[in-house]
Each structure stands twice: as structure tokens, then as C-alpha cells.
């Protein structure tokens, strides 16, 4: 039996695709859950996912919300986790441009699923308790669409700024109830007070009555206020029994700029490795900032050359390649 060169190429491509899916991070780790103070995979061990956060789905970061960028981050940066940071409150965000924002998020989430990596659906809001009904409606749609899809993780409150834990907890319980109507098991990330730093406060009075909850912990590696005292807060939270997920951290300082201190960054990286914590580094944008992974003008469809990456971008590309391969 003779087959054409084209038919043979299609067969080879199909076999390659099947092989790729079989060795994907989601195939390896399966559905995630929480046991005690750790997020674990199907084997009962911490998967320690390592990846990258897209920037706000607004302004300059919006152009990177496309399948080509997701594919490039998987192939070139070797990520096994992507965070889709949907802007909510600023002009053009979900509150004023719902359809566009939904399309941006679902486009990258669907591509992440097809690539076999995990993906955080992030309600990127600093005042989410003011938008409770909108958040509930959004996550009802997401939970119905992605219920039982092992790749998907729900992050329901990006960074509470100065809200009390009581207020954040009350908001979170209401959103969790909505998600659990449709998705009974996928992991949900709960925000923590003070820009996701006061995880020890949340751990003193954790949310009960629901399974598979983790708490977000954020830091900026070079920030002088984000050093030993902040690591001690996280250690206390884990001692108190809650699971942490570093859904955002950066190589610079908390304002997005500042220095890129290699020694401090390595110390934080070692700390996350020691504690087997999953993380997403901030962020995919070409803004002229320390924490931006690309330099101004980097193409919107991936394919970035080394000289188009910032120092932080080159560092993270190297680190992810070594850790995730």
C-alpha cells in the first residue's frame, strides 16, 4: 500500500501530538487537591508547578493574550503553569468590557489546556468585595465551562490591598459557594490581606467547610520589605495548617521597578524549592519595568530572541528551563 508524502507527514504529526500530550504536566500530575498544608497531585506529592503570569489583560499586556504566546512560553520557557490575569476595575476591564475580557481569558485558558499545562483564572482585582455579584457571575460561567478539567485553577481575588481578613473571607466564601455548585473539586485560590502577604492572619482563622482551598502568597524578591519577616509569615501560615500558592512574584520590587538583586532572588527561589511551592512569576509584558520579562517592542506573538528579553526575562527563561525540563 502506497501513501503520499503528505499523508505520511500527517501521521507522523499525529503521533508526535499524542506523545506530547502523554508527557504533558497535566498528564503527569493529574487533578490537584489539598492535603493538610500542601497542594498535591494524583500521587499525593506536591507537583511544584512553575510558570509565568500574563500581565493585566489591559494596556500593553493585552496584546499577549493569544495562543501563539502561550505556545511559545510552553516551548521556549518550559512553563507548566500559566496565569491569566483578567483586569476587572480599570477602564476597559471586565466591569466595562465584559465580552472582550471573557474572550481574552478563555482564549489563553483553552490554549493552555490544549498544551497540557495548568492555568490560573485570576480575578485580577484589588477591591473584589466591591464587585461581588460580578465576580460570582464570572466564576459561575468559568466553573460551568471548565468543571472537572484538571488543568484549571480558580484564583478568586488577586490582591486585597488594605481590606481586613474578615471582609476578604466573607467575599471568598460567597464566590466559593458559586464555584462549588458546578465544579466540586478543582483547586480554588483564596486571597490574603495586605497584597497577599498576611497569610499568617488568614491561617489563624481559615475558611472551613470546603475542600481544596489554597491561599495566595505574593512577594517581590528584591523589595527591602519582602525579606526574612515575610518568609516568616509564610512559614507560620504553613505551620498553622494552610496550603500556600505563590500566584505572583517578581524579580524586582513591589512597584514593578527597583533593582533586580540576584542574591535576594536566588534566596527566594531556594525557599520556594525547599517548601515545594508552586509559583507564577510576574509578568508577560514589554513595559519598561524591572519585572517585565520583555523589552519594549517585543513581538505580540512570541518568538522572542534573547536580546528582546529583559534581564529578568533571560534569568527566568534559564531558570524555568533548568527546573522544569
| pLDDT in the model for residue 5 | 54
Q: Among the options 159, 211, 266, 289, which is catalytic?
A: 159
Ordered structural domains, the chain, with CATH: 26-324 (3.20.20.80)
Mean per-residue pLDDT, 249-253: 97
Residues 146, 135, 203: CA angle, nearest 5 degrees:
90
| pLDDT in the model for residue 22 | 60
How confident is the model over 61-114, as pLDDT tens digits? Answer: 999 999 999 999 999 999 999 999 999 999 999 999 999 999 999 999 999 999
Closest of 136, 125, 132 to residue 160, by C-alpha: 125
The alpha helices in 95-158, defined as continuous H runs, are 98-115, 132-146
Report percent pLDDT > 70 for the chain: 93
How confident is the model over 144-162, as pLDDT tens digits? Answer: 999 999 999 999 999 999 9
Q: Among the options 155, 248, 253, 289, which is catalytic?
A: 248
Mean per-residue pLDDT, 181-191: 98
Closest of 30, 45, 119, 40 to residue 80, by C-alpha: 119
The pTM of the full predicted model, rounded to 2 decimals, is 0.93
Q: Give catalytic status of residue 68 as yes or no.
A: no
Mean per-residue pLDDT, 320-325: 95
Q: Give catalytic status of residue 248 as yes or no.
A: yes
More confident residue, 12 or 325: 325
How confident is the model over 30-60, as pLDDT tens digits? Answer: 999 999 999 999 999 999 999 999 999 999 9
Q: At what angle do helices 98-115 and 132-146 cross, to 10 degrees?
A: 30
Amino acid at each position: 500500500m502506497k501513501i503520499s508524502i503528505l499523508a505520511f507527514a500527517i501521521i507522523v504529526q499525529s503521533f508526535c501530538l499524542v506523545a506530547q500530550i502523554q508527557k504533558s504536566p497535566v498528564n503527569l500530575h493529574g487533578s490537584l487537591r489539598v492535603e493538610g498544608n500542601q497542594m498535591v497531585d494524583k500521587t499525593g506529592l506536591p507537583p511544584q508547578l512553575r510558570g509565568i503570569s500574563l500581565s493585566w489583560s489591559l494596556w500593553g499586556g493585552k496584546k499577549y493574550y493569544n495562543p501563539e504566546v502561550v505556545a511559545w512560553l510552553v516551548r521556549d520557557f518550559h512553563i507548566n503553569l500559566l496565569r491569566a490575569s483578567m483586569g476587572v476595575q480599570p477602564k476597559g476591564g471586565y466591569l466595562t468590557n465584559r465580552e472582550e475580557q471573557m474572550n481574552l481569558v478563555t482564549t489563553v485558558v483553552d490554549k493552555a489546556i490544549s498544551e497540557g499545562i495548568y492555568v490560573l483564572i485570576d480575578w485580577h482585582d484589588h477591591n473584589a468585595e466591591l464587585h461581588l455579584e460580578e465576580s460570582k457571575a464570572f466564576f459561575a460561567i468559568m466553573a460551568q465551562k471548565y468543571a472537572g478539567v484538571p488543568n484549571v485553577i480558580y484564583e478568586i481575588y488577586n490582591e486585597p490591598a488594605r481590606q481586613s481578613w474578615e471582609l476578604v473571607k466573607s467575599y471568598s466564601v460567597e464566590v466559593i459557594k458559586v464555584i462549588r455548585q458546578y465544579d466540586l473539586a478543582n483547586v480554588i485560590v483564596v486571597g490574603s490581606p495586605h497584597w497577599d502577604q498576611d497569610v499568617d492572619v488568614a491561617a489563624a482563622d481559615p475558611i472551613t467547610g470546603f475542600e481544596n482551598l489554597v491561599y495566595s502568597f505574593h512577594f517581590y524578591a528584591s523589595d527591602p520589605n519582602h525579606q526574612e519577616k515575610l518568609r516568616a509569615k509564610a512559614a507560620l501560615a504553613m505551620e498553622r495548617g494552610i496550603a500556600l500558592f505563590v500566584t505572583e512574584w517578581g524579580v524586582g520590587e513591589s512597584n514593578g521597578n527597583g533593582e533586580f538583586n540576584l542574591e535576594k532572588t536566588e534566596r527566594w527561589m531556594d525557599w520556594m524549592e525547599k517548601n515545594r511551592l508552586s509559583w507564577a512569576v510576574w509578568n508577560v509584558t514589554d513595559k519598561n519595568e524591572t519585572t517585565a520579562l520583555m523589552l519594549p517592542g517585543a513581538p505580540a506573538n512570541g518568538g522572542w530572541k534573547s536580546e528582546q528579553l529583559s534581564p529578568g526575562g533571560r534569568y527566568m527563561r534559564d531558570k524555568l528551563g533548568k527546573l522544569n525540563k
